[in-house]
Amino acid sequence: MKRFATWLVVAGAVVVLGTANYTIWQRQQIVDHGRPVLLELRPVDPRSLIQGDYMALAYAETIFPAADERSQLPRRGSFIVTLDADSVATFARLDTGGSLAANEARIKYKLVDQRGGMRLGAESYFFQEGQADLFADAEFGVLHVDDAGNSVLIGLAGENKLIIQAPENETGPDGARQDRD
Amino acid sequence: MLIRTRLRDRDDDIWRLWALRALLVLGAAHFLAGVVFFFAYNWDDLGPFARFGLLQGALIVALVAAFAAGLHRPAGQALLIAASVITGVLFGVIGQVYQTGADAWELFAAWTVLVLPWLFASRSSAHWFLWCALALTAFSAYGDQVLIPMGVIAAGDFMAVAGALVIAFLVLVELVIRAGVGWLDQRWMRVSLALVGLAILLIPAIGFVLEGDGDELGFAMFLVAAGALGYIYARVLPEFAVVAIATGFAALLAMVAGGRVIFEIVGTDGEAGSLVMGLLMLLLWCGFLTASTVRLLNLFNRQMAARGRGD
């Protein structure tokens, strides 16, 4: 019985650490090698939803399949977007499994309600406390996607399509925030 | 007086040992608090991989310490519980660093499944109770994020299922105890599970009583569960606390039902007279129910005590 318990603890450790590190590796692959895709943020409610230290994201209609088409789709799947020169995405077609053109990317979606509500990747962006003002002007969500359409949200971008970085002088050397004015 | 005499009787060696132990505990607690605060304060400055490494290191330390302490002894069990908690933090941090479309329920579901081996290894009722809370959180999140918005199940029915699952877990625990697993036999666990299960069922039951439609399943489940638990813990496995919870919740439901009937009779047209009238009747009804519940519980208590003595 004692040996069995020992075996269980070790097996548990292998499973937990294995799953954790595999997940980390897999997602780091997407971050390092994934294709950048900019998704335009819907200019309505999400920006007023800034609360605490995260921002709810809602993407523009041009990224999604037509509304009446959506409720017919399976709950999880993927579709194809066309990318312009700045990697800004617009909906191209449903995913039929064929190969992608050079200016196309595959994105996994998930239906979240019966009315065809659809989610692409992260539904919210977490940032450090006190940086809400910085991200209030965000125009795009920046995702890295792999060939299968898995995505990791890398950050938010402003009008200039560059990822918004927290300026270094926002935080003092001891990590405490400085007064801004 | 007795305590004072005992204290005077202790010789210096006992006091020295006591002081040493107290200082050891105090020192260990300060050291641990220092470690925790150090990382909490510097958390923002740590890179993602430092965070992953730190948490995985803590996990391994907890497991090794659990072996050293003995897996089935209280310290070892506490360390295995700590390992289970760290697992959740680790996956939470991974989800925070890599922001994907994963739902919260996926995190909790993975957490619930991944810690199962340690659960079987630790043989600790507290660990199993924590696991039940974890599984319930995963299931609730799954309902909130998938089943209810996708129209698979109505919110009230989902609550009924969730409450029934907690009661089912309690039944399973009792069966396993009967099968000879003594360490699971903890009074606080059975009372807590009954309390949580019935409280969850009470919500749709009250909804049914107030609205009259939609939550039939929860209402029926509550009546069956409260009745069955009340009977079982009064007659078969005497545990007065559960009997009191079942009776008290049933009385609460009756109060709400009475309130609805009263205000349907006097009307809710906003007239001061009928409002006062209604409130007075409700007060009387609640007073009557409270007094009856107390008398009923006294009766149950005496009966259970009598049966316990073997009369």
Confidence class for position A48, pLDDT limits 50, 70, 90: very low
Q: What is the pLDDT of residue B159?
A: 94
Residue A177 lies in a domain: no
Nearest CB partner across the interface for B149, out of A6, A24, A112:
A112
Mark whether A68 and A118 lie in a shared domain.
Answer: yes
Short-list A141, A118, A131, CA closest to A56: A141
Query: What's the token pair of residue A119?
Result: 């989610």
Mark whether A8 and A70 lie in a shared domain.
Answer: no
Distance from CA of B158 to the nearest CA of A (A): 16
Query: What's the token pair of residue B180?
Result: 């000879």
Residue B40 lies in a domain: no
Q: Which residues of chain B have pLDDT under 50?
A: 1
Mark whether A53 and A66 lie in a shared domain.
Answer: yes
Mark whether A23 and A99 lie in a shared domain.
Answer: no
Residues 6+ apart with CB under 8 A from A49: A55, A56
Q: Which residues of B touch A16 (CB under 8 A)?
A: 59, 87, 90, 114-115
Nearest CB partner across the interface for B151, out of A20, A114, A123:
A114
Residue A101 lies in a domain: yes
Q: Which residues of B touch A37 (CB under 8 A)?
A: none
Mark whether A16 and A103 lie in a shared domain.
Answer: no
pLDDT digits (tens, 9 = 90+) for A55-89: 778 888 888 988 888 878 888 889 999 999 999 99
The answer to whether residue B123 neighbours chain A at the CB level (below 8 Å) is yes
Cβ pairs bridging A and B (under 8 Å): 106
Angle at A157 between CA A153 and CA A162, to 5 degrees: 115
Residue B2 lies in a domain: no
Q: What is the pLDDT of residue A175?
A: 38
Mark whether B291 and B238 lie in a shared domain.
Answer: yes
CA dist., res. B82 & res. B187, Å (int)? 23
- How would you list the strands of the sheet with A151-157, edge to edge? A35-40, A140-145, A151-157
Amino acid identity, position B146: V
Q: Which domain, by its residues, includes B128?
A: 46-150
Cα A2 from chain centroid (whole Å): 45
Mark whether B210 and B228 lie in a shared domain.
Answer: yes
Mark whether B268 and B299 lie in a shared domain.
Answer: yes
pLDDT digits (tens, 9 = 90+) for B193-251: 999 999 999 999 999 998 877 789 999 999 999 999 999 999 899 999 999 999 999 99
Mark whether A45 and A21 lie in a shared domain.
Answer: no
Mark whether B298 and B272 lie in a shared domain.
Answer: yes
Residue B19 lies in a domain: no
Nearest CB partner across the interface for B114, out of A8, A19, A152:
A19
CB-based contact B117 A19, cutoff 8 Å: no
Mark whether B59 and B164 lie in a shared domain.
Answer: no
pLDDT digits (tens, 9 = 90+) for A3-35: 888 999 999 999 999 999 999 999 999 999 999
Residue B135 lies in a domain: yes
Q: What is the pLDDT of residue B230?
A: 95
CB-based contact B67 A28, cutoff 8 Å: no
Q: Which domain, by its residues, includes A42?
A: 35-170
Mark whether B116 and B201 lie in a shared domain.
Answer: no
Residue B219 lies in a domain: yes
Looking at the structure of chain B, the number of domains it has is: 2
Residue A180 pLDDT more than 50?
A: no
Distance from CA of B56 to the nearest CA of A (A): 7
Mark whether B160 and B289 lie in a shared domain.
Answer: yes
Mark whether A18 and A50 lie in a shared domain.
Answer: no
Q: What is the pLDDT of residue B131?
A: 96
Residue B203 lies in a domain: yes
Looking at the structure of chain A, the number of domains it has is: 2
Q: What is the pLDDT of residue B190?
A: 94
Q: What is the pLDDT of residue A43?
A: 58
Among B100, B103, B107, B122, the strongest candidate for a mutation testing the A interface, having the largest count of A CBs within 10 A, is B100
Residue A76 lies in a domain: yes
Q: What is the pLDDT of residue B4?
A: 58
CB-based contact B118 A12, cutoff 8 Å: yes
User: Among B150, B165, B181, where does a domain finish?
Assistant: B150
Backbone angles phi, psi at A61, to 5 degrees: -60, -30
Mark whether A54 and A29 lie in a shared domain.
Answer: no
Mark whether B283 and B165 lie in a shared domain.
Answer: yes
Mark whether A105 and A132 lie in a shared domain.
Answer: yes
Q: Which residues of A touch B96 (CB under 8 A)?
A: 126
Q: What is the pLDDT of residue B104?
A: 85
Backbone angles phi, psi at A138, to 5 degrees: -60, 135
Q: What is the pLDDT of residue B39?
A: 74
The answer to whether residue B59 neighbours chain A at the CB level (below 8 Å) is yes
User: Among B113, B133, B150, where does a domain finish?
Assistant: B150
Mark whether A138 and A52 lie in a shared domain.
Answer: yes
Nearest CB partner across the interface for A125, out of B72, B80, B99:
B99
Query: What's the token pair of residue B80?
Result: 């295995």
Mark whether B140 and B165 lie in a shared domain.
Answer: no
Q: DSSP letters of B90-147?
A: HHHHHHHHSB-S--HHHHHHHHHHHTHHHHHHH--HHHHHHHHHHHHHHHHHHIIIII
Residues 6+ apart with CB under 8 A from B206: B252, B253, B256
The answer to whether residue A37 neighbours chain B at the CB level (below 8 Å) is no
The answer to whether residue A116 neighbours chain B at the CB level (below 8 Å) is no
Residue A136 lies in a domain: yes
Q: What is the pLDDT of residue A177?
A: 41
Mark whether B178 and B225 lie in a shared domain.
Answer: yes
Mark whether B81 and B158 lie in a shared domain.
Answer: no
Mark whether A68 and A139 lie in a shared domain.
Answer: yes
Residue B18 lies in a domain: no
ipTM comes to 0.80
- According to DSSP, residue A49 is labeled G
Residue B37 lies in a domain: no
Residue A79 lies in a domain: yes
| Helices and strands in chain B: count of H runs, count of E runs | 12, 0
| Nearest residue of A to residue B56, measured between CA atoms | A17
Among B72, B85, B99, B152, the strongest candidate for a mutation testing the A interface, having the largest count of A CBs within 10 A, is B99
Among B98, B119, B152, the strongest candidate for a mutation testing the A interface, having the largest count of A CBs within 10 A, is B98
CB-based contact B59 A152, cutoff 8 Å: no
User: Among B106, B125, B150, where does a domain finish?
Assistant: B150
Mark whether B163 and B248 lie in a shared domain.
Answer: yes
Mark whether A17 and A68 lie in a shared domain.
Answer: no
Question: Within a 10 A sphere around the Cβ of A124, how many other Cβ atoms?
Answer: 12
